[in-house]
Amino acid sequence: MGQGFDTKSVHVSMQREGIPTKVTPIHQSSAFTFKDLQDIENFYHGERDYLYSRVGNPNTDELGKAVAQLEEAPDGIATSSGLSAILIGVLAVAKAGDHIIASEDLYGGTYELLSEELTAFGIEVSFADFTEDLSPFLQDNTVLLYTESVTNPLLRVEDLTKVKEFADRYNLKVMVDNTFATPYLIQPYLQGVNLVVHSATKYLGGHSDITAGVLTGDSPLIKAARTKAINLGTNLSPFEAWLTVRGIKTLSVRMERHVRNAAALAEALKKHPALDKVYYPEFISERGNGAIVTIELKEDTNVEAFFQSLGWIKIVATLAGVETSASYPMGTSHRNMPEAALRQLGITKGIVRISVGLEDIADIIEMMTNALDQSQK
Ligand SMILES: *Cc1c(COP(=O)(O)O)cnc(C)c1O
């Protein structure tokens, strides 16, 4: 190596191959080096890994495989966000001229991705009530059913067995967003679903410090999705993949507490006079009924005063962090949904979604009860 300062500066990072780190190091590198031209050939023949991080990176691969293992699916890929994971998953199945039947009570961002962007790609989308018979929505070009295992924000638990039976009858693929349930509570792939998608931004990451997505499922579909991810540039950064893997290590212990606290909060709020309704699933799995509680404030309450009285409970447009937080679907995730669709779904001005955190349950109940009391003044 030359002795000039600039040469020394740019070659300052040392190779540390073979150091036995306890956790996977962060491979924060946009590209990987080759010994010679034969080594490049070896990459294209599958005899060595890694070329360029948009195409693949050890940390993002580690995350995709970790979630695939939790979902008991053969393969998985990590992406830059939940929405980009949904995008590449849908595009792995559907192309221009194809038709999708999607559940009408979807995460607002997914609703827009399907109704605005994918239709612009020439993919037809029908939104349907998945509790009803889907036959009237079937077309000759229908290829995919899309739904969420637990819906947002009203927490309807999808009957995946029924969805799968319908799909099999007409040779359709099924894709399920498992963000709210996580594989701790539901493993849709084991119920025959083809693709399971996550906003890893939520419980998988768990600490509100990353934006990421993961798609898992049938190997040929993940292979097709990987090509889409490369061509569309939906790769996740190595650092965020590393943080998400770190989060997953505590998924079970976090979920255990989230679920226990949520059940207790739902029970405690049931009789509060400020509320019309408490939404909390009756049954998700033997391990519990989820970590989100959605409440509906009565029409004559002051919703603004409720939010102003939340104290240490954070007001956010997300969920699933270690801290309890409250969000307002009408003001955030669902603000662009047509009014008729909102009314149909039961998303009113009084709907507040609470992401129950890991704090002492007595403190959570006290703060929420106080805020609800204030909404009545
Ligand atoms: C947040 C969320 C998404 C979108 O994920 P991003 O990581 O924000 O892109 C999709 N589905 C559900 C159920 C979500 O909660």
Q: Which of left, alpha, beta for 233 (phi over 0: left; psi -120 to 50: alpha)? A: left
Nearest residue to 193 via CA among 206, 181, 202: 181
Please give the distance, rounded to the nearest whole angstrom, from the Cα atom of residue 179 to the centre of ligand 1. Answer: 7
Mutate to test the pocket of ligand 1, among 79, 83, 186, 234 (most ligand atoms within 8 A of CB): 83
Question: What are the structure tokens assigned to 50, written together?
Answer: 């890694």
Quote the mean pLDDT of the chain: 95
Q: What is the CATH number of domain 251-375?
A: 3.90.1150.10
Protein residues whose CB sits closer than 6 Å to any atom of ligand 1: 81-83, 107, 109-110, 148, 152, 177, 179-180, 199, 201-202, 211, 213
Q: Using one digit for the tens of pLDDT, what is the confidence trace for 359-370?
A: 999 999 999 999
Per the CB < 8 A criterion, the answer to whether 310 and 370 are in contact is no
Query: Alpha carbon 151 to chain centroid distance?
Result: 12
- Note the pLDDT of residue 80: 98
pTM here is 0.95
Band of pLDDT at residue 1, cut at 50, 70 and 90:
low
Q: What is the CATH number of domain 13-248?
A: 3.40.640.10
Location of structure tokens 């997953």: 248
- Note the pLDDT of residue 186: 97
Kindly tell me if the per-residue pLDDT of 2 is higher than 80: no
- Which amino acid residue places its CA nearest to atom 2 of ligand 1? 199
Nearest residue to 308 via CA among 366, 357, 361, 374: 374
Question: What are the structure tokens assigned to 111, written together?
Answer: 């609703």
How large a percentage of the chain has pLDDT more than 90?
86
Please give the distance, rounded to the nearest whole angstrom, from the Cα atom of residue 342 to the centre of ligand 1. Answer: 19
Helix axes 58-71 and 238-248, enclosed angle (nearest 10): 30
Please give the distance, rounded to the nearest whole angstrom, from the Cα atom of residue 351 to the centre of ligand 1. Answer: 19
CB contact set of 162 (below 8 Å; sequence gap of 6+): none
Please give the distance, rounded to the nearest whole angstrom, from the Cα atom of residue 26 to the centre of ligand 1. Answer: 25
Which of 16-30, 46-60, 241-255 bottoms out in mean pLDDT, i.e. has the lowest?
16-30
**H or E segment and range at residue 240:** helix 238-248
Please give the distance, rounded to the nearest whole angstrom, from the Cα atom of residue 299 to the centre of ligand 1. Answer: 29
- Note the pLDDT of residue 19: 85
- Note the pLDDT of residue 34: 96
Question: What are the structure tokens assigned to 361, written together?
Answer: 């349950």
Please give the distance, rounded to the nearest whole angstrom, from the Cα atom of residue 336 to the centre of ligand 1. Answer: 16
Domain ranges across the chain: 13-248, 251-375
Provide the 10 A C-beta neighbour count for residue 110: 24
- Indicate if 251-375 has the same CATH topology as 13-248: no
Mutate to test the pocket of ligand 1, among 158, 179, 198, 243 (most ligand atoms within 8 A of CB): 179
Band of pLDDT at residue 97, cut at 50, 70 and 90:
very high
